[in-house]
Structure 1
């Protein structure tokens, strides 16, 4: 269909820019969501092209957002024209209204929505979540806004479609079977309750009410200097490399240096603009040009801390012969750990404490937006909670944005309610109903986003400050962005900033000619995990590693309000995670990420990287992820479900 779309544009005299694939993919999405043929899409584009008086005849990816709003306005106008037609009532209509009137309010089956003044009464008396109340509430709100017309989201044929699976052979057949059951039965079958998972918050900074956006140049300097110093110390303690030296000094011999990758100028990073910034201890923070032409493969981004072996014959350019991207384990303890803690971490005590049950956890992960762009009914969230009510995961993780600042109605200021009211009524109240219906075995985690219109626009970002009923406080947990928790001894890291997209736009890489391009999404995720350092030798028969940062790129993206005054305790990844959740606009995935520890494959650690995608995309549904963690990454099953 993309070829047909391209052919129709070319027939009308239009061509595409360098981002042709992305533009065609968006055009294909428009055709599917709005039920347009390629010729109809091109006709709409010509109208948009003439109205906006665009120059040239190229279809650019930058015009797609404006074109999407144009299509939405066309769709809205067509619906309004159809709804203005006069309906002539027949005798059957009168009989139906009379019968509904005799049945009364409680037993009526009429689709007529209640009056707005009666809505609070209805919501307060229907606090228990059932499939009927979920679908009825969604239908009533849709009817009130669209005059009994189904929204484009509600017109989809299949509720849940398995997009891809991971380590699961029977997942697809099971999903198809469950989908048929959903179509045949409107009532969700409640299965037997499972076991309640343990939940421990390891890192959730900053706290609510903290002071932010007062970072100084000193804070930025200390943050970057400490990163370089810690990595240099870790490499020296490993015993595999020499003591780091000053890379800016001229030397005919091969030297080993540790520093941060920087870009010369304000443009994007490339091989000609690479600089290496050393620490104050070794080079007084000076920079030297980095030549990587002799390296067969590399993957670099601004802010990355690396080790470099090479020579600098002139004193102006370091010619690299080897790049050290991952930081290996050693047999020595962490240099930052106090002596009394080193003595406490002896192997005998650790081997005795290694007898624990197999780590198992079922969880569903979804990231916002949670409503489609044509309304604020939060229909995708309703469907997700219906799915979770049937599957009964032990942990439901929801990541912002919840009230998306990029939503057309929020962006234009046309919403008839405050942002806080929308959040409490349409998000928190539904989650409370879900928690009450599921019982004490269900847990819910909410992580905010910098795109949330009702929350602080800063990163790191404090958690939502919401007071819940006492019996629900142990079921619904609010965490900061980013955060680190453990459920059933499974370490889970969450960060709602689109770091994958930011790295994708700034990263440069080279692969050997004989090798394939590799897994780019996995490589981007690995950047957050390979920048680790050792904390102790063994703990529970497993290396305890300390990560670098949930956001290792510097300088940050222009759209990110990074505050480095709270970075040391908030951004630092205090432990390597078993599951790392990184919501992104890029393609959703679930992958096993290999974390290099040393040269032996047996000591490599494995982490499950997850991008659940967006629950709502345009006027249609998006994706979420379901994971059944079973002891380790290799035995874990997961699936990406399209809603």
Structure 2
């Protein structure tokens, strides 16, 4: 196997400005709007130059404008500014939203767990288990034959399963692709892959694939067909022991059969303060917006206390990280939930960039100890996690796997084919590989510990909504699992962007899920 080693809290929330919806560019689909190339410079050098032109957060002029819209025809009516100011409070009091229920399906490891005990044996077993389980699923699917040893010389066509590896320390390229087999079928040995006969592929290190072809010399496996999606039953139910209801209300609703697959939510990812101060103004603005348009579920993903913040790097702050989190973040959220009542619920998911939390991945949930939160309005889940709300399943991972995959993936498109949706392809890899972090070896800065709850990285069933916060351009996309196969299950992938970008504001997502994807509306909104 290849192994590698203090401010006063506001008494009330300020009013937010009215909405201004931007027009969609001509020719764009109503089911999905993606960023315009002219608005998103691809060069990091250009992006760095433009950083000097960012409008400071306090003087921004395009706040709360809709940047992109998914299913615009189903968009909830946006009131005018005057109507919002005069009628918002009345509407909120007369038409209160119904409290959503929350069910945790997977949130491991547990708070207080011991880490930094990762051994070579753990990594070996993790890779071996992934290959072995995938080989069983390929065989059971009926589309492939029984896995064979790809390292043996043979002119006969055979089918092999293994992980993609790189022959060297550099980036993957077409001349350095290896297939690493399992101990059971190939004694853990590697063989070079020749992909010249494939008209298209998309590969990255650590990816589990099925390969059909032959090995005439014993040194190079010539591929004729590639399977990059591990077969899975998307309707498979999790074992009941894995599910944990947050309160009795969820069990009562489920037993009564009154649940409807409808949910209003606001989704945001940190940082929650700009780089020129520690005032957490973007967080306060987001909570103010949520007060005026109360969601049933507010999902806040880390980092909350960003270890990359200049003041934290310089050591110029005079408070502990835990005090900053408690007074500047948690107390604001508590004030928000008390103001709106128990109809709103908040989920907090940590990040490996959180300076006040365990630097390990998978990462345990925050230990909040909110004794006064008797209605379970504020809940912290692990990173990654899988949870359900109103029969809608959410999967979330705050490690920037999209950005890391974009730097490691190599692909080939069919001759004369149109440019594909690269971001959508990267996001689809997560579910096709049934893993929140399929990349191996892990990217620098990712404290992957495979001695901790290895099953936490697995995605046993496809969620309805996949949350993947990233430094890449924000998006909301409808993607299909298993292009061209019998499995055409669709899901929504959301990257809300960062709430704060440098000294300026970023974006968040407002999502209204209504029974199915076709009736679901989502908007990317500038803070």
TM-score (normalizing by structure 2): 0.85
Please say if residues 259 and 390 of structure 2, whose CA atoms lie closer than 8 Å, have aligned partners that are also in contact: no
- Match of 1:425, SS? helix
Which aligned pairs between 1:306-345 and structure 2 lie closer than 5 A? 306-328=209-231
Once residues 90 and 48 of structure 2 are traced to their aligned partners in structure 1, the CA distance between those partners, rounded to angstroms, is 38
The alignment partner of 2:52 has SS state of: helix
Match of 1:453 in 2: 355
8 Å Cα contact 1:460/1:571 also seen in 2: yes
Give 3-state SS (helix, strand or coil) of 1:210's partner. coil
Q: Give the aligned partner of residue 136 of structure 2.
A: 233
Deviations 1:47-101 (A, max 9, x none): xxxxxxxxxxxxxxxxxxxxxxxxxxxxxxxxxxxxxxxxxxxxxxxxxxxxxxx
* Maintained 8 Å contact 2:70/2:523: yes
Shift in Å, 1:326: 1.5
Instruction: Give the Cα separation in 1 of the matches to 2:96 and 2:230.
Output: 44
Cα separation, partners in 2 of 1:181 and 1:454, compared to 1, 3 Å? farther
Equivalents in 1 of 2:258, 2:415: separation in Å? Answer: 46
TM superposition shift of 1:357: 5.0
How many Å separate the matches in 1 of 2:259 and 2:354? 39
Unaligned runs of 5+ in 1: 1-18, 34-151, 338-352, 532-547
Counterpart among 491, 496, 520 of residue 393 in structure 2: 491
- Residue of 191, 199, 206 corresponding to 1:288: 191
Q: How far did residue 616 of structure 1 move?
A: 0.3
Q: Is the 8 A contact 1:369 1:616 kept in 2?
A: yes
Residues 111-122 of structure 1: matches in 2 within 5 Å?
none
1:553 to 2:439 alignment: yes
The alpha-carbon distance between structure 1 residues 160 and 413, as it changes in their structure 2 partners (threshold 3 A), is same
- Matched with 1:201 is 104
1:388 alignment partner in structure 2? 290
Question: Is the CA contact (8 Å cut-off) linking 1:369 and 1:615 kept in structure 2?
Answer: yes
Measured in 2, the distance between the counterparts of 1:181 and 1:332 equals 44
Q: Does 1:501 align with 2:523?
A: no
Cα deviation, residue 573, structure 1:
1.6
Question: Residue 588 and residue 285 in structure 1: after superposition, are their counterparts in 2 closer, same or farther (change >3 A)?
Answer: same
Once the two structures are TM-superposed, the CA of residue 598 in structure 1 deviates from its matched residue by: 6.9
Provide the rounded CA distance (Å) in 1 between the counterparts of 2:369 and 2:228.
Answer: 44
Structure-2 separation of matches of 1:266 and 1:259: 19
Q: Please, which of 265, 280, 297 is the counterpart of residue 168 of structure 2?
A: 265
Label 1:446 to 1:179 Cα distance change in 2 as closer, same or farther (>3 A).
farther
Relative to structure 1, the CA distance from residue 333 to residue 557 in structure 2 (aligned partners, 3 Å threshold; closer, same or farther) is: closer
Q: 1:570 aligns with which of 449, 456, 463?
A: 456
Say if 2:53 is the partner of 1:23: no
2:181 counterpart residue number: 278
Tell whether the 8 Å contact from 1:328 to 1:597 is kept in structure 2 after alignment. Answer: no
CA contact (8 A) 2:233 2:461 kept: no
For the Cα contact (< 8 Å) 2:134–2:230, is it kept in 1? Answer: yes
Q: Structure 1 pair 380/330, CA: closer, same or farther in 2 (3 Å)? A: closer
Structure 1 Cα separation of the partners of residues 228 and 139 of structure 2: 14
Deviation at 1:277, TM superposition (A): 0.4
Moved more, 513-522 or 610-619: 513-522
How many Å separate the matches in 2 of 1:515 and 1:466? 51
- In structure 1, the partner of 2:496 is 612
Counterpart in the other structure of 1:637: 521
Quote how far apart the aligned CAs of 1:597 are. 7.9
- Aligned CA distance change for structure 1 residues 333 and 426 (closer, same or farther; 3 Å): closer
1:369 maps to 271
Q: Distance in 2 between matches of 1:243 and 1:484?
A: 32
Partner residue in 1 for 2:479: 593
Distance 1:499 1:452 in 2: 17
Q: 1:563 & 1:268 partners in 2: Cα distance?
A: 23
Alpha-carbon contact 1:252-1:311 (below 8 Å) kept: yes
Q: How far did residue 30 of structure 1 move?
A: 2.0
Would you say 1:169 and 2:73 are equivalent positions?
A: yes
| Length, aligned pairs only | 470
Label 1:256 to 1:170 Cα distance change in 2 as closer, same or farther (>3 A): closer
SS for the counterpart of 1:31 is: coil
2:252 aligned residue: none
Report if aligned partners of 1:190, 1:389 keep a CA contact under 8 Å in 2. no
Q: Say yes or no: does 1:359 pair with 2:243.
A: no
CA–CA distance in structure 1, aligned partners of residues 232 and 495 of structure 2: 28
Please give the per-residue CA displacement for 1:219-277, whole angstroms capped at 9, x wherever unaligned.
Answer: 11111111001110011111121100000000011111000000111111111110000
Any conservation in 2 of the 1:278–1:287 contact (CA below 8 Å)? yes
Deviations 1:292-340, CA, capped at 9 Å, x for gaps: 1111000001000000001100000001000011234589999x99xxx
Residue in structure 2 matching 1:430, options 332, 337, 340: 332
For 1:252 and 1:190, the matched residues in 2 are separated by: 73
Query: Conserved in 2, the CA contact under 8 Å of 1:189 and 1:390?
Result: no
C-alpha contact 2:118 2:451 (8 A) present in aligned 1: yes
Query: Alignment partner of 1:232: what SS?
Result: helix
Instruction: Using the TM superposition, give the Cα deviation of residue 471 of structure 1 relative to its aligned residue in structure 2, in angstroms.
Output: 3.5
Q: For 1:309 and 1:156, how far apart are their aligned partners in 2?
A: 55
The answer to whether the 8 A contact 1:260-1:304 is kept is yes
User: In the superposition, relative to structure 1, how do residues 179 and 254 fare at CA in structure 2: closer, same or farther (>3 Å)?
Assistant: farther
Partner of 1:147: none
**Could you tell me how far 1:187 is from its partner in structure 2?**
8.3
Higher Cα Rg, which structure: 1
For 2:516 and 2:140, how far apart are their aligned partners in 1? 29
- Say whether 1:583 aligns with 2:469: yes
Tell me the distance in 2 between the aligned counterparts of 1:376 and 1:331: 43
Q: Structure 1 residue 390: deviation in Å?
A: 1.2
Once residues 235 and 402 of structure 2 are traced to their aligned partners in structure 1, the CA distance between those partners, rounded to angstroms, is 33
How far is the alpha carbon of 1:159 from its aligned partner?
Answer: 2.6
Counterpart among 231, 246, 249 of residue 152 in structure 2: 249
CA contact (8 A) 1:329 1:597 kept: no
1:464 matches 2:366: yes
Tell me, in whole angstroms, the C-alpha distance in 2 between the residues paired with 1:322 and 1:572: 26
Whether contact under 8 Å (2:71, 2:522) holds in the other structure is yes
Partners of 1:238 and 1:332 within 8 A in 2: no
Tell me how far 1:170 sits from its aligned partner.
6.7
Q: Which has the higher helix share?
A: 1
Higher relative CO (Cα under 8 Å, sequence separation at least 6) belongs to 2
Deviation at 1:473, TM superposition (A): 5.2
The alpha carbon displacement at 1:622 in A equals 0.1
**2:37 maps to what in 1?**
none
